[in-house]
Every structure is written in structure tokens, then in C-alpha cells.
Amino acid sequence: MTTFAELGLSEPLLKALRDVGYESPSPIQEQTIPPLLEGRDVIGQAQTGTGKTAAFGLPLLQSVDPSEAEVQALVLTPTRELCIQVTQALRAYAAHKGIDPVAVFGGAPIRTQQAQLRQGGQVVVGTVGRVLDLISRHSLMLHSCRYIVLDEADEMLDLGFLEDVEKILSLAPGSRQTALFSATMPSEIRRLAERHLYNPETIKVKAATLTIDTVEQFYLETKPQGKVDALVRVLEAERPKQAIVFTRTKVRCEQLFRTLRDKGMNVKALHGDMSQGSRDGVMINFKGGRTTILVATDVAARGLDISTVTHIINFDVPTSPDVYVHRIGRTGRVGRSGRAITFVEPRQRRELEAIERHASTRISPWAEGAHVAPAQASEPRKRHRKPHDAAVANGTGYTKLIVSAGRHEGVEAKDLIAAITAGGLDGEAVRNVRILERFALVEVPAGEASRIVQRVTEVQGRPVALEPIRS
């Protein structure tokens, strides 16, 4: 068994690792630390829970000179929660090196963070927006930054931050060392790596507990207007010990939570619009087994690792096959079996089939009170499947719209969705909302697109214009 000392880490870091009780490196640490210590760029494909913070954090800290006051290392994170989590970990690892990492994130006084940067800040951990803000105010200078980490890059993509990430990287020295970590590798992330990393070493490690082999997988076909009733029926029939119900949007998450709560279920919500204190309380209750059902968005549930979860319910079909595998990997842990049930609307057949191909798995139809044999799964699907071209012709396809305002103008996803659905459109019909710096992107049913373009002229009082993106 390899030890941390054999990986080439310095004594102050080894002492800190002994203090926190780390005995031997995890696979991602064992494979990532040596090339990073050699000064190489690295792409690490690893899920939360594999130990990636120490994998990039220990070489980062070893490269920092405490006697130099300038910013020498920057870790970019997509969310405030991850920013705080990474900062706390780096602080523990740096305990014997005289380095105090500074966390910078939105939702906290920027003047306090500016003062912290003036007092030190050789290592900065920050959310993308706040880092860019501090750079624009000349409070954060990257001219001496020789080590940059992009943590959970796929989540940065999902949140629409990639444009800002590119800007930050372009402001850093070209001679820097860069590490990119991501649970999944969409094409946009690969292109980012090709542009900004030099001859990187790619390391791919899956969490030992993240597997779908121990998970029974089912789908339930339902029309949009019948999904909530179907969810109640499934929960009553399955009687989960603990279940996570995944939704695509924060708005839908909150709606679903209120509906289930009003039906007397032991349920909590977890999404990005909640305060940090509220989220912490929800997590503590769920981990302690005091909450049975957690309705959550993917972003809010990132890093959630609870071995007692018996059921994963995809109220909304995951945005990609990788997200599906990552979601249902949260059940069937530690030798236990789990059950995953995905709600599928008739127009989402192709998405379900893509998941089956990607994960080399078979998803059977769910039947109340019975396990349906996989051999029965294919027939209903053939009977109801509609060709994509026919769906578009019938007005059930999707059109992508560009919105003339973004984060800079204060537009948020929930406000954009509310403006679009104000005319009676179901919020579930709005998908793939991405808020960028100066504009936003959203997909709406093709049959509704022209009406939405004409009707939506403002979002939360801000004038906007919507326009279809032509193929």
C-alpha cells in the first residue's frame, strides 16, 4: 500500500495529514499527486467523495511559498458551498505551513474579502462570479498566480459560468500549472481543456461506492399533468426508508416539496435559492434519518453521500446519461440494493434510450406492487414511440431562444422561467435554462416559441428581447 510520504509530500503536509487522521491515499490521490508535484497539468475525472480536494490541494500547498505575499494559487468552484468546503480542507492541510487560504464568494460582504486579500491570500478559493468581480476591482491580482484549479468544471458548465472561467484563465500567466476536475466530461469541458491545459495527464477514477450494478432500475411513463399524482402513487407503493427525488429546476423543487408536505409526507427541499443555514439544517436532518424524502436539484445535492438512501426518483429525466448514473449511484451503497424510478414523458423516449445505451443497462417499466421482468420492457416503448421529426411537426419539439440580458443585468433563472410561464405554460415545459454574463439561453416547446417571443418583454421589470436561435 502506497503512503503519502512515498508520493513525495513535504513533512509539514504529512504532519497535517496525520493530524486529520489520513492514513493512506485514495486512488485519485495516489494517481494525481505525483504528476502535479512534477509540475504537470492534470485532468481528473472523479466524482465527489473520491478525495479529489486533497488530490489537488496537497500539491498546490507544497508549491506555495509562505514568504511571498502575492496570490500564488487559485481554486475556482461553481458554488458557495463547495468554496467553503474546499477552503476548510486546505486550511487543515496547511496548518503547519503558515498559509491561511482565503475564501471569496457571492452573498458575503466584498469589503471583508478585499481586506483578507490585502492581509495575505497566497491561496484563494472562490466562486467564478466573485473572483471576476474582485479582479475587475483590482483587489485580486493574478500576475504571480502559478497554480490554478477548476473544481467540478461540469457544474460550472451547467450553471453557465464557462465564459467567465475562460476570461479568468486568460488573465493568468501562461506559464501556470492547471488542474481540471470534473465528474463528467462534456464536449465543452474537453474543448476548454484543449485550449488552456498543456499536454495534460488524464486520470479517471470512479468512487468505489458509485455503481449501478446494485440498483434496480425502472421507468414510469406519464403525461406532464399527471406526474405529481404519479409521484405520490409511487412513494405510497414503494414506502422508501429514505428517498431523493431529483428535479431539473429550483422552481419545480419548491413546488413539489410544498405539494408533498401538504399531503402529510415527511419531506424537505434542497435547492440553491435556500439560505446556507436552511440547507445545512436540511442536510443534517436527512443524514440523521429524521427526514424520509428529500426533493433536490442536482447542484444542491452535489456531494450528498448517504448510505441509507433506498430510492432515487428522477421526477425529471436527467439532462445527460452521465447525470443519470451519478444520480442513481446515490443508492445501492455499501452492499445494499437500491431502486431507481425515472418518470418519462412520451416525448422523452429517446432520452431514456440514450441513457440505456450509455450505461449499458436495461430500464424496466414500473408496475405497482410488482417487479416487471426486463423482457417486457421493450414492447410498450415501441408502441408509443414517436419519430423526432413528427414531434417537431406536431409542435412538440423544442426551440432554443436567446434572451438579451444575463447575470450582469441581474437576471436569474427562476425569474426568467416565471416570465415565460406567466401566460399559462407549465414550468416543466421550460428546459435547459442557462444564465450567462450578458445573455441567457432557454428551450421552450416549438409550438409556443413565437407566442413567448412576442409576449415576454421584461423579466422582473427589466426590459428584455427574446429571439429564436436558427439552426
In angstroms, rounded to a whole number, what is the distance separating the alpha carbons of residues 379 and 224?
Answer: 22
pLDDT at 88 over 60: yes
Q: Are 263 and 274 in contact (CB under 8 A)?
A: no
3-state secondary structure the chain: CCCCHHHCCCHHHHHHHHHHCCCCCCHHHHHHHHHHHCCCCEEEEECCCCCHHHHHHHHHHHHCCCCCCCCCEEEEECCHHHHHHHHHHHHHHCCCCCCCCEEECCCCCHHHHHHHHHHCCCEEEEEHHHHHHHHHCCCCCCCCCCEEEECCHHHHHHCCCHHHHHHHHHHCCCCCEEEEEECCCCHHHHHHHHHHCCCCEEEEECCCCCCCCCEEEEEEECCHHHHHHHHHHHHHHHCCCCEEEEECCHHHHHHHHHHHHHCCCCEEEECCCCCHHHHHHHHHHHHCCCCCEEEEEHHHHCCCCCCCCCEEEECCCCCCHHHHHHHHCCCCCCCCCEEEEEEECHHHHHHHHHHHHHHCCCCEECECCECCCHHHCHHHHHHHCCCHHHHHHCCCCEEEEEECCCHHHCCCHHHHHHHHHCCCCCHHHCEEEEECCCCEEEEEEHHHHHHHHHHCCEECCEECCEEECCC
Q: What is the pLDDT of residue 302?
A: 62
CATH level 3 topology of 5-205: Rossmann fold (3.40.50)
| Domain formed by 394-468, architecture | 2-Layer Sandwich (3.30)
Quickly state the pLDDT bin for 197 (edges 50, 70, 90). very high
Q: What is the pLDDT of residue 111?
A: 92
More confident residue, 278 or 276: 278
Percentage of the chain lying above the pLDDT 90 cut: 39
Q: Are 270 and 301 in contact (CB under 8 A)?
A: yes
pTM across the whole model: 0.51
Quickly state the pLDDT bin for 180 (edges 50, 70, 90). very high
More confident residue, 74 or 326: 74
pLDDT at 352 over 90: no
pLDDT at 101 over 60: yes
Q: What is the pLDDT of residue 133?
A: 94
Which tens digit of pLDDT belongs to each residue from 9-35? 999 999 999 887 777 888 889 999 999
Dihedral Cα 42, 47, 51, 53, nearest 10 deg = 60
Average pLDDT over residues 270-279: 81
Average pLDDT over residues 226-249: 91
Quickly state the pLDDT bin for 299 (edges 50, 70, 90). low
Q: Which of 48-57, 131-140, 175-184 has the lowest average pLDDT?
A: 48-57
Q: What is the pLDDT of residue 377?
A: 35
Q: What is the pLDDT of residue 333?
A: 56
Q: Are 225 and 313 in contact (CB under 8 A)?
A: no
In angstroms, rounded to a whole number, what is the distance separating the alpha carbons of residues 273 and 303?
Answer: 17
In angstroms, rounded to a whole number, what is the distance separating the alpha carbons of residues 228 and 325?
Answer: 23
Q: What is the pLDDT of residue 212?
A: 59
pLDDT at 254 over 70: yes
Most confident region among 160-164, 398-402, 423-427 by mean pLDDT: 160-164
Residue extent(s) of CATH 3.40.50.300 domains in the chain: 5-205, 215-387
Average pLDDT over residues 365-383: 48
Average pLDDT over residues 229-254: 91
Integer angstrom CA distances of residue 192 from 90, 141, 150, 346, 355: 26, 22, 11, 35, 25
CA 62 to chain centre: 29
Residue extent(s) of CATH 3.30.70.330 domains in the chain: 394-468
Percentage of the chain lying above the pLDDT 70 cut: 86
Q: How high does pLDDT run on average in the chain?
A: 83
Which tens digit of pLDDT belongs to each residue from 210-226? 445 678 889 999 988 89
Q: What is the pLDDT of residue 47?
A: 65
Average pLDDT over residues 281-298: 86
pLDDT at 44 over 90: yes
Average pLDDT over residues 445-452: 87
Q: Are 305 and 327 in contact (CB under 8 A)?
A: no
Q: What is the pLDDT of residue 429?
A: 76
Q: What is the pLDDT of residue 384?
A: 34
| Domain formed by 215-387, architecture | 3-Layer(aba) Sandwich (3.40)
In angstroms, rounded to a whole number, what is the distance separating the alpha carbons of residues 320 and 184?
Answer: 10
Average pLDDT over residues 254-268: 91
CA 103 to chain centre: 20
Average pLDDT over residues 74-103: 90
